[in-house]
Amino acid sequence: MTQGHNDQKLALLASPAERAQQASRHLADKADWVPLEEADAVIVLGGDGFMLQVLHQMLDNGRIIPAYGMNLGTVGFLMNRHQPGNTLTQRVARAKPIGVAPLRMIARRQDGSEQVHCAINEVSLLRETRQTAKLEVEVNGKVRIDSLACDGVLLATPAGSTAYNLSANGPILPLDSHMLALTPISPFRPRRWRGAILPEHSQVIFRVLDPGKRPVAAVADQKEVRDIAEVKLEIARDQQLTLLFDPGHSLDERIVAEQFVA
């Protein structure tokens, strides 16, 4: 078996879902698969959630390679169409690379300890109790909102703008927009504030007001930090990821198409 065009070494990862496992078994003898740590690119079988797990695994391990997804999940926004057959390695060789820069979150807890995580979709701050959260919002060194009363707030990348951000009535951002979506979640005051679109070079800081009565958690994609005092966010330019898409099915096209779904 070949390893693909240009002698690419390919890894194959499948989610635990039965459909993905079946596809993995079908592909087992279609290429000389290698372990992820030896691969030049990785084939990901599953849905968006599993793709995010794989991308985060690469970020955590410090070895980032292009990822080509085949949708065997539900939404599949980050994936290509699943097409059974013997042409997968050729599809990977022809695929268009799309750069996706994650957000870096530096989260400081009430006890002064810090945690650093990256988010490919969004970082969200959420109230931990029935009490409304109160947050100060600073952008590029200037306080823009001195007291935001809300269920939470999030900062989303273009790749994540059609996920939680869209559910919170945030804007859809084209991948090449170089923008970030700052979106409140059920805002109470300022009553008319509906969020902002920021240049991707922006630094955003959220500070928790009255944390004893109104505790707040921060979530970077799937990683949660509780009892937050302050969260600092900016693009992690040194950890850019690469997604591979079939020609004509790029993430740019998916973002445009999503805006015309009734």
174: cis peptide before it, omega within 30°? no
The answer to whether 23 is a known ligand-binding residue is no
The answer to whether 163 is a known ligand-binding residue is yes
The answer to whether 147 is a known ligand-binding residue is no
The answer to whether 162 is a known ligand-binding residue is yes
The answer to whether 68 is a known ligand-binding residue is no
First-to-final CA distance of the chain: 45
The DSSP output letter for 12 is E
The answer to whether 159 is a known ligand-binding residue is yes
Distance of alpha carbon 229 from alpha carbon 216, whole angstroms: 8
How many alpha carbons fall within 13 Å on the CB side of residue 235? 18
The answer to whether 164 is a known ligand-binding residue is yes
As to burial, measured by CB atoms within 10 angstroms (0-12 exposed, 13-18 middle, 19+ buried), residue 241 is buried
Mark whether 29 is an active-site residue: no
The answer to whether 31 is a known ligand-binding residue is no
The answer to whether 122 is a known ligand-binding residue is yes
Q: Which listed residue (7, 29, 32, 48) is catalytic? A: 48
Distance of alpha carbon 104 from alpha carbon 235, whole angstroms: 6
Distance of alpha carbon 209 from alpha carbon 133, whole angstroms: 8
Give the annotated binding-site residues for NAD(+): 48-49, 121-122, 151, 159, 162-167
Residues annotated in a binding site: 48-49, 121-122, 151, 159, 162-167
Q: Which residues are marked as active site?
A: 48
